[in-house]
Amino acid sequence: MKKLEYKDICGYLPHDLKIMDNERETVYPFLGYEIDTTLTKILLYDEETDWWNLSNFKPILRPNTDLYKPITHNGKEIVPILELAKTQRAFDWVVGEDDFGNLCAKYGEVFFGFKNHSFYLHDFSNDLIYDQYQLFDYLHELKIDYRGLIDAGLAISVHDLEFNPYN
């Protein structure tokens, strides 16, 4: 089984990532890490910080399926795939299915989606997706698990908790 590495979570770090202690099932804000070791800096309840090993924690993320559902982000309800699609084409996108039955953002016969860890666009004239790094930056901001960490047992879904720490 793959183990959690900093490369798996580094994009989430500027966006108030929360982690859960494996033993106590306590949620902590992720404050930083030390590259030369496997130590993670966390904020404890008494407002002091401490360094613990990354293997003692799992990041809390939203599953990929949250791309197609309303979520609360910065106090506003959004559907992530529709927000992402708007960066590519200024259409009135809706959640629908593409020609293969995959959930996607849809405008007529134009499709924008995320499958197999990749964005795709089908619009009959130009299938080029611009500024993909910004799309992945937005996935990080929303804490969407596009790397499959939840399915690999390396992260915890917000839906498996009694409360969503990101709402």
Among 157, 156, 154, residue whose Cα is nearest residue 2? 154
Over residues 90-117, the mean pLDDT reads: 95
| 8-12, 27-31, 72-76, 77-81: the lowest-pLDDT one | 27-31
Summarize the confidence of residues 22-37 as an average pLDDT: 70
Average pLDDT over residues 121-148: 91
Domains of the chain as residue ranges with CATH: 6-61+148-160 (2.30.30), 64-142 (no CATH)
Strand partners, 60: 156
| Nearest C-alpha neighbor of 148 from the set 119, 117, 118, 120 | 117
Mean pLDDT throughout 76-87? 97
**Residue showing tokens 């949250």:** 66
Higher pLDDT, 134 or 128: 134
What integer pLDDT is reported at residue 57 of this predicted model?
Answer: 83
Mean confidence (pLDDT) of the chain? 86
**How far apart are alpha carbons 162 and 153 in whole angstroms?**
18
Binned at pLDDT 50, 70 and 90, residue 50 comes out as low
pLDDT recorded at residue 1: 54
Residue with the larger pLDDT of the pair 51 and 155: 155
The pTM (predicted TM-score) of the whole model is 0.87
CB atoms within 10 A of CB 144: 23
Burial category of 51 from C-beta neighbours within 10 Å (exposed 0-12, middle 13-18, buried 19 and up): middle
pLDDT above 70 (res 47): no
